[in-house]
Amino acid sequence: MIPSGQAKLAGVMGWPVGHSCSPRLFGYWLDKYGIDGAYVPLAVEPRHFGQALRTSAVMGFRGINITVPHKTVALGVVDEADEAARRIGAVNAVTVRDDGSLWGANTDGFGFMAHLRARAPRWRAAHGPAVVIGAGGASRAICAALCDAGVPEVRIVNRTVARAEAVAIALGDPIKVMPWIARTSALEDASLVVNATTQGMAKEPALDLDIAGLGKDAVVYDIVYAPLETPLLRAARAAGNVAVDGLGMLIHQACPSFKAWFGVEPDVDENLRHDLAQNI
């Protein structure tokens, strides 16, 4: 529907932002629920980010999603932030409150866990260790969510050990840092393996990880969603493991923001997933 002069406004800030699926995702829900609203992509250079985020409140925006490279900077711009954002050190969703102040949140961990439970309903945190490849912002959000879920041990494997150690210091037990050279042995008795890097994304090399020794009951999760089937997921399916792609994480992490800004808790259905997958 065409937004009116009273439309509820939200958007996504990034640099660049043309690759973002969020406008299509939010647009799908706005149409589905017949909401008088609009969700727009906002390409903002890093040097202008703080000013742009503050200005969004003056311009009548209800909320702004934050994507690369602004997530960590956003934490220092908002007036207050939830515990998840503070622990992770990054904000991906900003709500403009009635008094014009900015509330920052991080919904990446929520999105990760919601999709994991939807696509791998038999997985349980108590089943065994989780292995997370990568130590960037997504990894930190995922590790925090796994710790909160009660996973007995979360093994972070990263090429740069110092970055993995920084995550371990920030989150504490049950994080265990393992060197890149030990990535194969890290999979021993693991119930979950997560690729939290860009390896396997279109135009990127495949993740260098041999999962031949992984138990058949383990779940393999790749946060990459372009393409939907990465070499890692292809290998997992061939081996008989449950394979979970990153598109659902993208969808689920948007749900809390949509509810906060537009007043409806959206459904995550296969039609939405199909619509996004066709336009990746």
CB 102 within 8 A of CB 73: no
Among all chains, which residue has been given the structure tokens 């990446």?
108
Catalytic residue among 71, 176, 203, 216: 71
> Bridge-partner residues for 14, per DSSP?
43
Tell me the Cα Rg of the chain.
Answer: 19
Distance of alpha carbon 276 from alpha carbon 44, whole angstroms: 24
Token pair 């399916």 is found at: 237
Provide the residue type at 258 as one letter.
F
Would residue 71 show up in a list of annotated catalytic residues for this protein? Answer: yes
Q: Which of 276, 206, 262 is nearest to 236 (CA)?
A: 206
Helix (H) or strand (E) holding 8: strand 8-14
Question: Cα torsion for 139, 144, 145, 149, to the nearest 10°?
Answer: 140
Token couple for 141: 């959000």
Residue 154 has which token pair?
A: 């979360």
- Residue 35 region, left (φ>0) first, then alpha (ψ -120 to 50), else beta? beta
Structure tokens at 211: 């999962």
Just list the catalytic residues.
71
